[in-house]
Amino acid sequence: MFRGSITALITPFRNGKVDEKAFQDFVEWQIQQGTHGLVPCGTTGESPTLSHDEHMRVVELCVEVAKGRVPVIAGTGSNSTAEAIELTKHAKRAGADGALVVTPYYNKPTQEGMLLHFRAIADAVDLPIVIYNIPARSVVDMSIATMAQLAKHPNIVGVKDATADLLRPVRTRLEIGQEFVQLSGEDGTAVAFLAQGGVGCISVTANIAPALCSQLQDAWQLESYEDVFRIRDILTPLNDAMFIETNPAPVKFAAYMLGKCQPDTRLPLAPLSVKSQARVEEALRAAGLLTD
């Protein structure tokens, strides 16, 4: 269903507003570079500071460009179940192929609370749902046991695992089965996650190195491990640079250096520091992405 290199898309801004042309041009470039899927309005897309109207519009813009060529998994999560249902219903109407739903942040629900939250969304909207488990940002960690219960629902198809715990994909596969889609949510673990039973990565780095990220995933499927390890080694310093400050400030600056958009983020995210800008530029040049 969902596999390979799936880009957690940035949302370009210009003069404080969503830069719709830059975004659609960026989506087209991603597809041309071989990206296997797209996630608008995730964390990297600055969903916490998008208005509801902006959020919905960005999903629509992405679907409009993709035209079914690659799957669009719209970020529709919220710490309000009613709001998550509303956003997921919109994603379905807009033509998205799936929804990425984060575990509720700030509220700190119990495992039972998360179970009820995801079931309510899955019952309300007939759309494939990928659970986004990211304890570092949401504070709560969905257990494999809870995930196994949710996987029984026909609309809950997989997980974006951003725990960086490489025992999780094996244990999840043993508990739930191979058909449950497991995607890494950490660029640095992309290859190791594949080795542990995953089928792809929802990637920040793919914003600026879409060809390399998709080639890595394709090489794994072809069992071309020399290519996998070669590309992994090229991407590792770049992955590190993309998280030198809070995501998406570094990757937006990198996209700016590649001429794709302005580097603007919305408060409370600060502009990337001069020192970090130099680190990002160095990483881009080392990876052969910036040569002038």
Question: Cα–Cα distance between 30 and 35 in angstroms, integer?
Answer: 6
The alpha carbon of 76 is separated from its chain's Cα centroid by a whole number of angstroms, namely: 12
Question: Cα–Cα distance between 238 and 188 in angstroms, integer?
Answer: 10
> Do you find a cis peptide bond into 248, omega within 30 degrees of 0?
yes
Is residue 182 within 8 A of residue 159, CB to CB? The reply is: yes
Q: What pLDDT was estimated at residue 120?
A: 98
Q: What pLDDT was estimated at residue 1?
A: 82
Q: What pLDDT was estimated at residue 171?
A: 97
> Exactly one of 17, 89, 160, 225 is catalytic; which is it?
160
For 42, residues 6+ apart whose C-beta sits below 8 A from its C-beta are 8, 9, 75, 100, 132, 202
Q: Is 275 a catalytic residue?
A: no
Q: What is the pLDDT of residues 52-96, one digit of tens each?
A: 999 999 999 999 999 999 999 999 999 999 999 999 999 999 999
State the sign of the Cα–Cα–Cα–Cα dihedral 102, 107, 58, 164: negative
Q: Is 132 a catalytic residue?
A: yes
> Exactly one of 89, 92, 108, 132 is catalytic; which is it?
132
Domains and CATH numbers, the chain: 4-233 (3.20.20.70)
Q: Report how far apart the first and last C-alpha atoms of the chain are (Å, whole number).
A: 39
Look up residue 75 and give its amino acid. Answer: G
Q: What pLDDT was estimated at residue 291?
A: 82
Q: What is the pLDDT along the chain (292 residues), one digit of tens a residue?
A: 899 999 999 999 999 999 999 999 999 999 999 999 999 999 999 999 999 999 999 999 999 999 999 999 999 999 999 999 999 999 999 999 999 999 999 999 999 999 999 999 999 999 999 999 999 999 999 999 999 999 999 999 999 999 999 999 999 999 999 999 999 999 999 999 999 999 999 999 999 999 999 999 999 999 999 999 999 999 999 999 999 999 999 999 999 999 999 999 999 999 999 999 999 999 999 999 998 7
Q: What pLDDT was estimated at residue 56?
A: 98
| Three-class DSSP category at 258 | coil
Q: What pLDDT was estimated at residue 292?
A: 77
Pairing label, strands 13-14, 17-18: antiparallel
Residue with tokens 């996650």: 193
Is residue 107 within 8 A of residue 133, CB to CB? The reply is: no
